[in-house]
Structure 1
Amino acid sequence: MTDRLGHKQTAAMFTLMVLGREVPNPELQELVGFTLTGKERTQLKDSGYITSEKIGRPFVHQLTDRGWAWCEDELAAGSPPPPRPQSVLCSSMYVLLGGLHGYLRREKLRLANIFEADPGPEPESEPEPDVVVEDLEGRIRIAYRELVKEPRGWVGLVDLRPKLGEPADEVDAVLKELSAAGKIHLVPEDNRKALTAAHHEAAIRIGGEDNHLLSIEVL
C-alpha cells in the first residue's frame, strides 16, 4: 500500500483521475471548491504523483503514471485517510471505491481504461446544427491562433470576438460546450482594475463567474 495522503490531496488526486487530463486551478475550484497550491501541490509533484506547471496565470495539473498507480491502490484502502472524517458520505464512498477496485481486478482493467481522456473518432455525419457549431469552433481556433503569442497562451475574449463576426449568444454556446468538453480553458482576468466596459461586455459567465481569457492547448 502506498503512503496515504491528506484529505484535500486525496480529493485532488481523485478529481484528476476522473477527468483524465490536464486541469487548471480555476476549473478545480469550480468543480470541488478548492485549488491545488502551496505545500500540498509541491508534495504531490515532488512525490511524482502529478505534473504541475504554471501555464499563463494558473497552475495546471495532471496525473503521472505513478499517480494513476496511487489511485488504484487507494481504491483498496477501505476507509478514508486519517483523521476520520465526520461525513458518513465520505466513509461510504470508500466502500464504493472498494467495489470498483474489485471489478477492475476481476476484469483485468486499469483505471485509465475508464477515466483517461479519449475524444474517440469523429462521427461520420452530424445533424445540421452540429455542423454549424463545428464550423464556428474552427473559426474560434483560427482567431485564437492569430492572436496568441506563445503556445497555450491566454487571449482576451475582447480581442477574439471581433474576429468571429457571429452573434454573442452563438459564440457563448460554442465556448461553453468546448469548455465543458475540456477542449479550451476559460478563466477570469486577475487584474480587475484593468478591465474596461468592453472587457465586461465580451466576458462569458460560467458557474456564476465572468471569464475574460481563453487558452487552447491543441490547435
Structure 2
Amino acid sequence: MSNKPLGTPARQALVALMTHVSEASNSELYEHFRMRIEKNIRQELESAGYIVWRKGLRGAIFHELTEDGWERARREVGAAAPERVSSAWLLHYGTLMHLDRLLATRNLQLADLYVGPLGIPRTDTEPSDEASTPSRDAAPPEGERVGSEPDGVEDRVRDAYQRLADAPGSLVSLARLRERLEDVARDDLDRVLRAMDRRREIHLEPDPNRKALTQAVREAAVTIGGEDKHLITIDHS
C-alpha cells in the first residue's frame, strides 16, 4: 500500500466510492454526488493500489475500492478536510469526524457503517424479534428452500449466458436471458442476479441508449442502486 499523500480530488474520489460502497461508474457517481473520477485521478488511485477499474459498454468506466483502498478510506473518515474545498465538503468531513468517534467508541469497523450499495436495503440482516422468526420445526412453503436460492438457478444463468453470448465477456440482453429462464419466477431470478452481481460473479450494466430500448427490454431490467440494468456479462478470462 502506498504512503504517498493523495491530492484533494483523489481523496474526494475515495470518499465517494466508500459512500457508494459497491462498484460505481462515473455516471452513477455523478448521479449521486455530482462528481466524476477523471483519468489522472483514476491513475493516481490505481498506482497507489486503492482502486481497480474496468471498461463497460461503450467505454463506460467502473471503479471499485480494493482492500487497501478501504483501509485508506477508513483513515479519511478521521482526517481533516482538504484545503480549499467547498462548504459542502467541509460539512461532509465534519460529519465523518463524528462517525470516526462513533466507530472508535463502539469498537465498530467501517463495514458496520457502510453496509450496502446506495438505494438497496440490506436483506441479510437477522430478524429483529422472535415473532418474525419462523419456527425451526415449521415446514417451508411448498417449492421453497429455506436459507438458499432456488435449486440450480445460478448454474442455469451461467448456462443461458454461455448459449446466448457471442463470446465470453460479451453483453447479453436480460430480456433474452429471461426468455431462456421463463419458468423461473421473476422475484427468484432477480434475487439470484443481484446476489451474483454483488459477488462479482456476473456484471449487470445499464444500456446507455435509453431512447432506443423496447418495452420488453425495459420490463426485463433489474434495478440496482436506483438504476435499471438491462445487460449481463460474465468474464471467464
Q: Which TM-score applies when normalising by structure 2?
A: 0.60
Deviation at 1:31, TM superposition (A): 4.0
1:171 to 180, 186, 204: 186
Distance across 2 between alignment mates of 1:22 and 1:166: 31
Corresponding position of 1:64? 66
Distance across 1 between alignment mates of 2:198 and 2:142: 21
Is residue 2:233 matched to residue 1:187? no
Deviation at 1:165, TM superposition (A): 1.6
Corresponding position of 2:104? 105
Distance across 1 between alignment mates of 2:46 and 2:180: 39
The CA RMSD measured in Å over matched residues stands at 4.8
Distance across 1 between alignment mates of 2:179 and 2:154: 11
Identity of aligned pairs, percent?
Answer: 28
Distance across 2 between alignment mates of 1:215 and 1:130: 29
9-18 vs 105-114, greater mean Cα deviation: 105-114
Matching residue's letter, 1:102 = R
Corresponding position of 1:83? 84
Is residue 2:146 matched to residue 1:145? no
3-state SS, counterpart of residue 104 of structure 1: helix
Distance across 2 between alignment mates of 1:6 and 1:74: 11
Matching residue's letter, 2:95 = L
CA deviations over 1:14-63 (Å, ceiling 9, x no partner): 24324555445555455435543422211211122112233666433222
User: Contact between 1:156 and 1:212, CA under 8 Å: does it hold in 2?
Assistant: yes
Between the two proteins, the alignment pairs up a number of residues equal to 210
Corresponding position of 1:73? 75
Report which of the two has the higher share of helix. 1
121-130 vs 12-21, greater mean Cα deviation: 121-130
User: Contact between 1:203 and 1:210, CA under 8 Å: does it hold in 2?
Assistant: no
Q: Which TM-score applies when normalising by structure 1?
A: 0.64
Gap regions ≥5 residues in structure 1: none
3-state SS, counterpart of residue 135 of structure 1: coil
Distance across 2 between alignment mates of 1:2 and 1:110: 24
Corresponding position of 2:130? none
Corresponding position of 2:178? 161
User: Contact between 2:150 and 2:188, CA under 8 Å: does it hold in 1?
Assistant: no
Corresponding position of 2:55? 54
User: Contact between 1:179 and 1:185, CA under 8 Å: does it hold in 2?
Assistant: no
CA deviations over 1:140-177 (Å, ceiling 9, x no partner): 6513433235766532113201112259xx62785378
Q: Measured at CA, do residues 116 and 153 of structure 1 come closer, stay the same or move farther in structure 2, by a change above 3 Å?
A: farther
Within 5 Å, which residues of 2 pair with 1:113-128?
A: 114-115=113-114, 128=141
Distance across 1 between alignment mates of 2:22 and 2:210: 29
User: Contact between 1:25 and 1:36, CA under 8 Å: does it hold in 2?
Assistant: yes
Distance across 2 between alignment mates of 1:130 and 1:5: 55
